[in-house]
Structure 1
Amino acid sequence: MKRVTERRTYSYLGPAGTFTEAALDQVPEARGQDWRAVHNVGEALDDVLSGRSYAAMIAIENSIEGGVSTTQDALATLPGLRIIGEYLVQVNFVLVAPRGTPLSDVHVIAAHPVAYAQCHGWLGAHLPQHAHVPAASNVASAIGVLEGTLPAQAAIAPPGIVRHYDVDVLAEDIGDNKQAVTRFVLVTRTTRSPEPTGADKTSLIVELPHDHPGSLLEMLEQFSTRGINLSLIESRPIGDELGRYRFVIDADGHVNHERMADALLGIRRFSPRVVFLGSYPRADRQIVQYPERYEDEVFVEARDWLRGILTGEPED
């Protein structure tokens, strides 16, 4: 009998042609499945939590602008989510307009605020007198110009826009930083983390106890004393009062490894609230390096040694 495979739905920030769609296209198991375009991160994560979608692709960090605060705050406050993969997308932009529009007629530009910030140099050199109209996404900016719902003559958009919409490209490669990259994560409902690959990352959100001298250092020492490198640490206000922060952390390694598990136990004892977001393969597939004294076997031997002391076993 032929086995029937259940189709899965994946949510992403739409419409078609966005960088988020390009990130989702990197997920082999998502190809040929149902893709659901949504309007924002909150809607994407609600799809996952409600069961409308199996997973959602969301942007979490940009090499120019840093962490995506709306994503970080959503992951910190919505229980029941787990990151199962990360994907990198090279970020570049084009300036597009309705057919027949010359660059000299452009006085107002529609753009997502993050994209607009990454094109200041080109805009200042070529359109110094322009005004900016914010758009909900990099593709929504072009749609708004084409449909007349945004009061602009041109839009900043991803290069892939030309595959989906009838536009003239007025300028290519207008981003200020040619190495700009956006990091995306694939989020599903809480599940067991993927098996370790040796090139893994663990993400979590940690709240500090009530402010006291050295509290941040105490948190960081949970990782440094176990030989764990942090590839990301960003603060976000908790929002209940001034001076209270949570920290978004990416640590090199997997929760299945003894050193990481030991660090998380230390963090849990220290922090009033820890959100484990997941351990998953790094997008760059770079093997995590660490000193031999932090090998799993060293932690196991140390526990066995202590167990022998507690039980009164004779020493070798």
Structure 2
Amino acid sequence: MLKLTMKVSRICVLAMLVISLLTVVPFSASAAVKDSREVENTRVILDGSPIELGSPLHMVNGRMFMPAGLVAKALSASVTWDADAQEAIFITKSDDEVILGDGVPTVYFNDQRYVLDAVPYLIDGRLYVPVRYVAEFLHADIHWNDEEQTLMITSVPLETVSDDNTLADISARHGLSQAQVVKRNGFSSKESIKNGMKLAVIIPSVLENKAKPFTESEYQLLAKLVQVESGYESYEGQLAVANVILNRVEHPSFPSTIKDVIYSGKQFPPAHNGLLDRSKPNASVLKATKDALNGKNNVEGALYFFNPRYSKGSFWDSLSVVATIGNHRFAK
């Protein structure tokens, strides 16, 4: 049985929320969809009034998910869907920009990247996301009433600074330090906060978990390699090739940077014959590369890829194949 509580005064608490209307397939999407189950006979109460979602709540590994485009709108946020990038873009009432992508375990929050501990997935045209995250991003609190099987979502107003409602007052009332409130709202010091300003007081828990950074040059180099090796393959095949490189970066038997992995050894001849330099990644390759860098991995553990029509011999036969996608086998 799920029992979710939270401090109305602090970081909005655990549960799991969604986005909707969007199209996203998660990293480990098949596993997430397979493990998800509908939570029957539940109600959703938003700011005291019941709402119809049109889709059931889901439970995945003890986490609650739900489709919530309607919730976003009701909480004064806008939601748009970038079909090319396969990303949902939220602009919240506190003017935060939140971007959740195609099954990617990384969220962009005001241009910074953070790691999610549960991944969005698509079912019946609805993007399911942990309630906890969307509620925190949209400046709301959540409470699960187990006895009544009811999920209650309550919007938390922004605080307006005034002589009678100072930064110190606001911070104390919400159980936060002044430094936390200053940082949450993007200021460098408390002296920057003036009367009349509106402050967010819900601090998304994911902000404590920054994603591993990558540079534009690393992104472009990896995309060029993916284009040369699998530009003609499907998105899934391109994603897998990008992840072989990234899996090697994390493996002690290989160099620890994208550049060194690509240019070391002889597996990638294009890196040495000029073809890589002339490569121009297409849109699908750019998306697959970005998603891989953001943690979406469809070939966990794979350190090699090869076309069995051309790569033959005892070495290739000795490998354990993780997946076959298009013309390539991915192995470890």
For the criterion TM > 0.5, the same-fold answer is no
Structure having the larger proportion of residues in strand = 1
Higher relative contact order (CA closer than 8 Å, sequence separation 6+): 1
TM range (shorter): under 0.3
Give TM-score scaled by structure 1 length: 0.26
